[in-house]
Chain A
Amino acid sequence: MRRITGRASLRVLTRVGVAVAAVSLAAACTSNTPENEGNDSENNGQANAASSNDDPGETVVIGFSGPEADHGWLAAINSAAEAEAEKYSDIDLRVAEGTNDPSQQISHIETFINEGVDAIVLLPTDGAALTEIATEAMEAGIPVVNVDREFSSEFAARTTILGDNYGMGVSAGTYACGLIEENNLGSDAVVAEIAGIDSLPLTQDRSQGFKDALAACGADVDHRVAAEFTVESGEAVASNLLQAVREIDIIWNHDDDQGIGVKAAFDNANRDEFFFIGGAGSANAMRWIQEGEMEATILYPPTQAADGIRLARLLAQDKGMSDLVQVEVPRRIVLNAPVVNADNVEEYLPLGFES
């Protein structure tokens, strides 16, 4: 509890900065959703403008807990969620301090259960570790919306919203296959992969998808290194990678945040003989695409938690998704992982998060 209020007072301190970022991001999300065909939930929410779903209902208390926002994408996730909640007068959002410690996050959820919130939106630090407490919440009658990192039990969440990590890898791999074909690189094309934190399932999923998609065109990952989602680690592993392989055709970097460091390493070594594909879709990466410094990036939408908030509100108010015939909110929503390249970057740039 104290932690939660502490977080609130800290927010006052940084309000100016957060507010500016949040507003611009929120504007980006809403104004672009009509064109964003890949994002079903957003479509749905917008379409609901015509329905009664956005009208204020009874006030619901929603608890939100996510990992520490020590990373651009996560920061965007959190601020988008908070901005979304502010748009609804009938949402009373409780934000637990972000943490990377599962046991601390468990105690946050316990606090939410004790407070008797109406719904919980949870982006777990570790899906498996938070399954138990999420199940408890469900048993206590509180619907849990699981975001991004999946629980290990079906009973732990009412609804799960996932970015598609495997799909991200597939998109990157398929795009790479396209490049190989277009440029007649053949099946012995040198493909390198710069992964994120290797122990996370999401990293493993992305790598698996990449590998599977490459196999479809007879290519494989020749060199793979893992960074830690930080600029610095990106620079360090990329520097070593460039020394290890003198001629590279395609590099896929999982994460545009660490991509800043990866790009710095490329520039330091004066290497640009390869196609550079990114991941997540930061505004930086999109600008590089505009400038021709980068081939493409695979989008991993930072709006999942915001969607989670909306869904939690619908769940708590016993509403369904009005675009669906089904009267209940679906069990599982998997977001698409589209490729952003020079052809469509103008369209996606406003959705890119500032890392």
Chain B
Amino acid sequence: MSAQTKTGVPEGGGEAAKNAGGMAAPADRAGEPRDGSRRSGPLAGLMSGSAGHLLGLVIALLLLCLIGLVTAGDRFADFDNMMTILRLASVIGVISVGMTFVITGGGIDLSVGAIVALASVWATTLATQTMGADIHWIVMVTTALLVGAGCGLVNGVLIAYGKMAPFIATLAMLAAARGLAEIISDKKTQVVTERGLVDFFGGEVLGIPVLVIVFALVAAGAWVLLNRTAFGRRTLAVGGNPEAARLAGINVKRHTAILYVLLGVACGIAAVLLLARTTAGTSTHGGLYELEAIAAVVIGGTLLSGGRGTIVGTVFGVLIFTTLTNVFTLNNLDTSTQAVAKGAIIVAAVLLQQRVAARNGTGG
């Protein structure tokens, strides 16, 4: 039977047949299907994730804000409150941005919280603080960054050159770094006596907290790095298909190691921000940060299996969690309810992500 049951394309000769099934894209540049249901070129370039997914995140955040507005009114919409949300988002935000790189590159890091703890403790030991007081508080910042980078390097070398599974290597680091932090601090809370650091990072520029500015700079820098440089492109390649990346001449091992160092440095920055926020370094800092960061990254739309990552999505993921906590507190609701809501959001976001992916997915 040759009757065409449902076809808008006329039965035609050679000409028509050549175009059917294929693309009749007007320009090289386009390449999107005509119905436009997929992401469009320039937008995709900007967002580096699916625009549909990002839209979902924006809607989720707006919805949360709407709930905040309705239930808490001015107290929510207040500028100070917005800054509080951003300030609280800054520490976990910096880590999540770093985590985005590692996950995009096909890895995972469970040790971020422990590295933050160790960096915060190392930066506030009596010796470091004395040196900070003698020279400049920048010594403490440098210490935190170096400790973070060092831990990241150990992770990276074990994973890339030692061929350890990222899960295992960073799990070991999680235990070791927190343990070392406890030994160094003797499990005590080390108060920052060098006010310069707290005043600088705890201060404001044009009404905007320095913490928030640091977070914004880190996020912007990371966006450029991931989307506008060869390094970012290689990260996608290494995460998407390490063998193809290797055969295309990318030094996959070195690149992987660098990704972990980068995240380590992000942990160092986060530790400094945390010092300013809490005025203390302790081995209890950074508890469960690994899970919060991974959750924010995944909700943001970065593929947990690697090869696709979005900084903008991650920032939204972090903001959604922080705003959620804020809205709950403004309404005097307890933490248990909050935890349930967090779980529900993770599930909803991932389901949404899959639906969008399925709709945008390639056929065959």
Contact = CB atoms under 8 A, between A and B. Distances in A.
| Complex A–B touching at CB under 8 A | yes
Nearest to A70: B284
Nearest to A234: B278
A118 to B, nearest CB: 29
Nearest to A18: B186
B189 A232 contact: no
A333 interface: no
Interface stretch (B2-10, B99-107, B224-232, B322-330): B322-330
A329 interface: no
B188 A231 contact: no
A223 B189 contact: no
Contacts of A228: 287
A7 B278 CA distance: 31
B183 A14 contact: yes
A261 B336 CA distance: 21
A236 interface: yes
Contact of B202 (A233, A244, A268): A268
Contacts of B234: none
A75 interface: yes
Given A224-B332, A267-B279, A13 B325 contact: no
Nearest to B189: A355
A28 interface: no
Interface residues of A, number: 44
Contact of B278 (A224, A240, A261): A261
A355 B330 contact: no
A71 interface: yes
B2 to A, nearest CB: 69
Interface in A53-88: 69-72, 75
Interface string B258-295: 00000000000000001001111011111100000000
Given A72-B187, A228-B287, A236 B334 contact: no
Contacts of A232: 274, 277-278, 284-287
Contacts of A314: none
Given A231-B282, A240-B330, A243-B326, 12 more contacts: A17-B186, A18-B186, A21-B188, A72-B188, A225-B329, A232-B274, A235-B278, A237-B329, A240-B325, A243-B80, A261-B279, A267-B202
**Which of B277, B329, B330: most chain A Cβ within 10 A?**
B329
A246 interface: yes
Nearest to B182: A70
Contacts of B142: none
Interface of A: 10, 13-14, 17-18, 21, 69-72, 75, 198, 223-226, 228-237, 239-244, 246, 257, 260-261, 263-264, 267-269, 284, 354-355
Given A198-B335, A230-B285, A260-B278, A13 B329 contact: no
B80 A235 contact: no
B363 to A, nearest CB: 46
13 contacts: A14-B186, A198-B336, A231-B189, A231-B282, A232-B278, A232-B284, A232-B285, A232-B286, A235-B277, A243-B81, A244-B331, A264-B278, A268-B87
Nearest to B203: A268
Interface of B: 72, 75, 78, 80-81, 84, 87-88, 182-183, 186-189, 191, 202, 274, 277-280, 282-287, 325-326, 329-332, 334-336
Contact of A246 (B75, B87, B331): B75
B329 A243 contact: yes
Contacts of A246: 75
B73 to A, nearest CB: 12
A72 B279 CA distance: 16
A269 B83 CA distance: 11
Nearest to A20: B186
Nearest to B274: A232
Given A18-B186, A232-B287, A243 B78 contact: yes
Contacts of B186: 14, 17-18, 21, 75
A184 B71 CA distance: 31
A263 B334 contact: no
B116 to A, nearest CB: 9
Contacts of B78: 243
Contacts of A75: 186-188
A68 to B, nearest CB: 9
Contacts of B88: 236, 239-240
A189 B278 CA distance: 28
Given A70-B284, A230-B284, A244 B329 contact: yes
Contacts of B278: 231-232, 234-235, 260-261, 264
B287 A69 contact: no
A237 B332 CA distance: 11
Nearest to A244: B330
Given A243-B329, A244-B332, A284 B187 contact: no
B19 to A, nearest CB: 59
Nearest to B328: A240
Given A240-B84, A243-B80, A231 B329 contact: no
Contacts of B280: 231, 260-261, 264
A166 to B, nearest CB: 20
Nearest to A282: B189
A260 B189 contact: yes
Nearest to A242: B84
A226 B334 contact: yes
A51 B80 CA distance: 63
Contacts of A236: 88, 325
A225 B334 CA distance: 7
Given A231-B189, A240-B326, A355-B189, A268 B277 contact: yes
Contact of B279 (A17, A233, A264): A264
Contacts of B326: 240, 243
Contact of A198 (B72, B87, B334): B334
Nearest to A199: B336
A239 B211 CA distance: 14
Contacts of B284: 70-71, 229-232
Query: Which 4 pairs show the lowest CB-CB distances between chains A and B?
Result: A240-B329, A230-B284, A75-B187, A264-B279
B83 to A, nearest CB: 9
Contacts of B283: 70
A354 B188 contact: yes
A13 B75 contact: no
B145 to A, nearest CB: 19
